[in-house]
Structure 1
């Protein structure tokens, strides 16, 4: 079964179509990347799946269940999103404990104390951080809280929107290693949005390259590493990424 299936997804803002008939499959247990330059539409695909861009046409299903438009309580237990900015995505006046307990309270689930402690340990957060506020945490610690919050309802699909781009380079590797470990230990599937091809090479199995709202190529990460992408624009992205990395 596919963790995520998207068929002919189109999203418009007013008269501007930003995603145009996009189709992808994310196999259960797979880590799949959407890559492209800013404005290519990759983040909008993620928002449509998460219910944050409800004006879309096409088909979206998560573990075989059709995705309705907008916020869907049933989706919350199957898929969750981790945002790019760990500070902006956390309530500034909520402690870590309150942030992690909230999803359980909304869904009427008990055992909050044990679950909070379990997830904090899973993402490498010491229990002394439990009653701290976001401004009392480092960027890496805040992103661990965001990942922990996404895992509270035990979803099997995580939507990752540039999860390391707002972090210091020294912290990025820690978060990427954490995501890789969580995927293995919890049997997670990932849909990752990024412009960072080294991140894709480290974390993903396959990728789709987007340009001006369309997918121009879908290929394996092995093809990316070996320089065997087939589309001219894909190869151009790889060249730009190599120049940026070496600069």
Structure 2
């Protein structure tokens, strides 16, 4: 079954069209990446799926249900987003407990205490962090809180917008390993935006290469590892990544 199906997706900001005829299909349980240079429209696609970019035409279908533009609470129970900057995405005056409890209150989910304990444990956060504020946490701990907030409603699909790029190199691997474990343990589906091809190789099954708001190629990670991408721009990205390795 498809977890997410995108067809002929055109997204606009005012009179400016950002994407053109985007289409791809993510299977349930798959980890799929959107890659490409800055400005290619990758994050805009995530925002349209999440309901933050509302001016679009085409089709967005998640687990067989068509999505309409704007905020949809039912859709939010199935799909959540983890943002690039873990400090900017957390309210500075809310404790971890308040941050994690808020989605439960909005959606009328009871037993918040037990749910918060459970999700904190699942992302590797000790209970002593529960009543701390974001400024009292490290970058890696803040991103664990952001991931916990995305998981608190027990969605099936996570949208990951450069989930490690704002972190210190020393903790990037920890978060990537956490995401890999969570996907395996909870049967999650990932749609991830990144420019880091080694991250794609580690975490994903397939990728779509975007350029100037269009998908130029969809390939498997095995093709990426073997250097068998077909589009000239895709091959250029691979060569650039090989000559500028991430530390």
TM-score bin, normalised by smaller chain: over 0.9
Match of 2:174 in 1: 174
Match of 2:206 in 1: 206
Local SS of the residue matching 1:85:
coil
Local SS of the residue matching 2:240:
helix
Looking at structure 2, the residues matched to 72 and 244 of structure 1 have their Cα atoms a distance apart, in angstroms, of 41
Match of 1:14 in 2: 14
How far 1:148 moved relative to its partner?
0.2
Matches for 1:98-109 after TM superposition, within 5 Å: 98-109=98-109
Local SS of the residue matching 2:229:
coil
How far 1:15 moved relative to its partner?
2.4
Match of 1:48 in 2: 48
Matched, 1:161 2:161: yes
Q: What TM-score, normalized to structure 2? A: 0.99
Match of 2:217 in 1: 217
How far 1:197 moved relative to its partner?
0.4
Matches for 1:68-83 after TM superposition, within 5 Å: 68-83=68-83
Matched, 1:137 2:137: yes
Match of 1:152 in 2: 152
Match of 2:183 in 1: 183
Task: Give deviations 1:9-34, integer Å, cap 9, x for gaps.
Answer: 00111222111000010000000000
Task: Give deviations 1:205-243, integer Å, cap 9, x for gaps.
Answer: 000000000000000000000000001000000111111
How far 1:246 moved relative to its partner?
7.1
Structure 1, unmatched stretches of 5+, are none
Looking at structure 1, the residues matched to 155 and 230 of structure 2 have their Cα atoms a distance apart, in angstroms, of 34
Q: 1:4–1:246: structure 2 CA closer, same or farther, 3 Å change rule?
A: closer
Q: What TM-score, normalized to structure 1? A: 0.99
Local SS of the residue matching 1:19:
coil
Matched, 1:85 2:102: no
Structure 2, unmatched stretches of 5+, are none
Match of 1:111 in 2: 111
User: Which 4+ residue blocks in structure 1 deviate beyond 3 angstroms?
Assistant: none
Task: Give deviations 1:85-123, integer Å, cap 9, x for gaps.
Answer: 000000000000000000111111111000000000000
Matches for 1:114-125 after TM superposition, within 5 Å: 114-125=114-125
